Amino acid sequence: MAHSPLLSKLTQSSESYAAAFDAMEEWIVIVDDQARILFMNRPYAQFIGINRDDVVGKKVTDVIENTRMHLAVETGKPERTSLQEIRGNHMIANRYPIMVDGKVVGAVGTVLFHDTHEWKQINSQIRALIAERDFYRQQQDDDKVSTSGAHFRLNDIIGRSPSIYALNEKVKKVASGDVSVLIRGESGTGKELYAHAIHQLSERAEGPFIKVNCAAIPENLLEAELFGYEDGAFTGARKGGKPGKFQLANNGTLFLDEVGDMPLAMQAKLLRVLQDREVEAVGATRLIPVNIRLVAATHQPLEDLIAKGEFREDLYYRINVVPLNLPPLRERREDIPALTDHFLSRLARRTGRRTPKLTAQALTALLEYRWPGNIRELENVLEATFYMSQGRKISLPALPEHIAGARAQDVDTGGTLKERLASAERVILREALATCGDNRLRTAKYLGISKSTLYEKLARFGL
């Protein structure tokens, strides 16, 4: 096959950069002005299942399924982020004509995303980065609300502990798809915040986010609330009927909070809707198709409810495709200082006061408390303390008695010098453990002692 000087240069250039092209994850093909293949990088050839040297000079339409490279040559117009199916896989491809002196001498094509799932994951990562940028731009605007109904983003979740970091990374991965997510955790751990964040990072972010608290709606009203009702469906029904939460969440996300409290009869109907993607309103004679992504949350052990016959096993597997387990606050104590600063700063902005700071003793008391109510309890405690304390410092006595009282009894002010020193040492060890999130190695470094010395002291004081 004879080449013009320009095409020969193009061929030589592509061969010169072959090693670089082969190292790229993107798939690359270059064709001449007759749409014949000049070059194909190794990853592309391996996917198609060919020897790339065997296809040089062949028409690109004879080698690559559903290609449009020949059209890029014919029209001289680029095609960006075009959907292409190869061997049953839907890919995202770009095609650019190569112009010299206003004449098309060839074209280069790249496959950026090897399937649509990969594209969605990248899109979700981009949304996360944009959300992070917007978070820092809008830090002062706590009242900003998304038009979709989802108020919170991933950056609104405070914490840099290993467990929260791993959880956030998992959220970024699963948010892009339509897979059902079950968020589990004790009351007050932030399950609803994560439901909002999943919606905000998803392809449905511009669609509605609808929340239903299954524990707050009376059983006799739950069906009408979820599926809606027709005009005259029952006594007291609104004239003209009313759409249900499923209809309102169409093309968006439906968040079922406290799904473990849903009555068994409703569980069966919910399962049918999730399977058929169709809703039948109360009193209706026709089915309405719905397109929703389901996110559910519960603080209850659903496995125990299944064993008692109080929760359907088939529904459990339908909603528990991807589980997210939120750690209680007592297992992420290293996040307490950041959470404390966040809540106090927000209260200060609302009231126009300067943000108060906790004394070391007060912070230690918060670190040592077990927080059965988790983050919600911490927020409530800090709000009460904020309004009860007028100074720039929040000291130990300003905290609620059940937190401050136990802390105040720690140091023994009586006894011999040896006994009082031992009591003080015990308090220092407890404070260091709390500050370091109960990590023994980190605690030893924090105190400037060896790990063996730390273990010896912990054993002596029964810590």
| CATH label of the domain that carries residue 94 | 3.30.450.20
- Amino acid identity at 35: A
Q: Is residue 140 part of a domain?
A: no
- Amino acid identity at 367: L
**250 and 157 both lie in a single domain:** yes
More reliable by pLDDT, 11 or 278: 278
Least confident stretch, 79-93, 151-165, 380-394? 79-93
Taking the CA of residue 234 as centre, how many other CA atoms within 13 Å lie in the half-sphere pointing to its CB? 10
CA distances to 336, 363, 383, 407, 437 from 434, in Å: 10, 10, 22, 13, 5
**452 and 352 both lie in a single domain:** yes
**238 and 291 both lie in a single domain:** yes
pLDDT greater than 80 at residue 395: yes
**79 and 192 both lie in a single domain:** no
Q: Which residue has the tokens 């013009």?
A: 4
More reliable by pLDDT, 332 or 140: 332
CA distances to 250, 274, 317 from 222, in Å: 18, 16, 22
At residue 144 the predicted structure's pLDDT band, cuts being 50, 70 and 90, is: very low
What stretches of 17-151 show up as alpha helix (H) in DSSP?
18-23, 42-48, 52-55, 60-63, 69-75, 116-137
pLDDT greater than 60 at residue 50: yes
Q: In sequence order, what E strands does 134-266 have?
A: 181-184, 209-213, 228-229, 242-243, 252-257
pLDDT greater than 80 at residue 180: yes
| CATH label of the domain that carries residue 400 | 1.10.8.60
Contacts of 441 (CB under 8 A, 6+ apart): 451
CA distances to 342, 348, 357, 361, 396 from 392, in Å: 16, 11, 6, 15, 13
**105 and 75 both lie in a single domain:** yes
Q: Is residue 236 part of a domain?
A: yes
pLDDT greater than 90 at residue 241: no
Using CA of residue 85, residue 88, residue 91, residue 95, what is the dihedral sign? negative
Give the per-residue pLDDT at 16: 67
Which structural domain, as residue segments, surrounds residue 217? 146-327
Q: Is residue 80 part of a domain?
A: yes
More reliable by pLDDT, 174 or 463: 174
- Between CA 76 and CA 97 the distance in angstroms is 5
At residue 11 the predicted structure's pLDDT band, cuts being 50, 70 and 90, is: low
- What average pLDDT does this structure show over 358-375? 88
Last-in-domain residue among 327, 352, 383: 327
The number of folded domains in the chain is 3
pLDDT greater than 50 at residue 142: no
pLDDT digits (tens, 9 = 90+) for 433-463: 777 767 788 888 888 888 888 888 887 776 7
pLDDT greater than 50 at residue 187: yes
Q: Is residue 128 part of a domain?
A: no
What string of DSSP letters covers 57-93?
A: TSBHHHHSTT--HHHHHHH---EEEEEEEETTEEEEE
Three-class DSSP category at 194: helix
Q: Most confidently modeled of 70-84, 155-169, 185-199? A: 185-199
At residue 281, φ and ψ (nearest 5 deg) are: -65, 155
- What average pLDDT does this structure show over 91-110? 88
Give the per-residue pLDDT at 148: 58
Q: Which residue has the tokens 């070391």?
A: 360
**323 and 360 both lie in a single domain:** no
pLDDT digits (tens, 9 = 90+) for 243-274: 889 999 999 999 999 999 999 989 999 999 99
Check: CB of residue 97 under 8 Å from CB of residue 72. Answer: yes
Neighbours of 84 (CB within 10 A): 18
**413 and 282 both lie in a single domain:** no
Give the per-residue pLDDT at 87: 72
Question: Which tokens hold the place of 363?
Answer: 């912070």
Order of strands across the sheet that contains 37-40: 37-40, 27-32, 103-113, 89-100, 79-86
**343 and 435 both lie in a single domain:** yes
Give the per-residue pLDDT at 21: 80
Give the per-residue pLDDT at 145: 41
Question: Which tokens hold the place of 115?
Answer: 């399937």
Average pLDDT of the chain? 83
Give the per-residue pLDDT at 146: 47
What is the rounded radius of gyration, in angstroms, for the C-alpha atoms of the chain? 31
Give the per-residue pLDDT at 10: 64
Check: CB of residue 48 under 8 Å from CB of residue 64. Answer: yes
Three-class DSSP category at 293: strand
Taking the CA of residue 386 as centre, how many other CA atoms within 13 Å lie in the half-sphere pointing to its CB? 23
Last-in-domain residue among 114, 137, 160: 114
Nearest to 180 by CA among 201, 156, 197, 198: 198
pLDDT greater than 70 at residue 126: no
At residue 15 the predicted structure's pLDDT band, cuts being 50, 70 and 90, is: low
Last-in-domain residue among 300, 327, 354: 327
Give the per-residue pLDDT at 136: 46
CA distances to 183, 276, 336, 339 from 333, in Å: 21, 44, 5, 10
- Between CA 359 and CA 363 the distance in angstroms is 6
Q: Is residue 134 part of a domain?
A: no
Q: Is residue 359 part of a domain?
A: yes
Give the per-residue pLDDT at 453: 85
**351 and 317 both lie in a single domain:** no
Question: Which tokens hold the place of 261?
Answer: 């409290």
Q: Is residue 424 part of a domain?
A: yes
| CATH label of the domain that carries residue 245 | 3.40.50.300
Q: Is residue 124 part of a domain?
A: no
pLDDT greater than 60 at residue 291: yes
Give the per-residue pLDDT at 278: 92
Least confident stretch, 49-53, 309-313, 314-318, 409-413? 409-413
**204 and 337 both lie in a single domain:** no
pLDDT greater than 70 at residue 111: yes
Contacts of 193 (CB under 8 A, 6+ apart): 152, 156, 157
**346 and 399 both lie in a single domain:** yes
pLDDT-above-70 percentage for the chain:
82
pLDDT digits (tens, 9 = 90+) for 64-95: 888 899 999 999 999 887 877 777 777 788 99
Three-class DSSP category at 292: strand
**181 and 319 both lie in a single domain:** yes
- Between CA 460 and CA 198 the distance in angstroms is 47
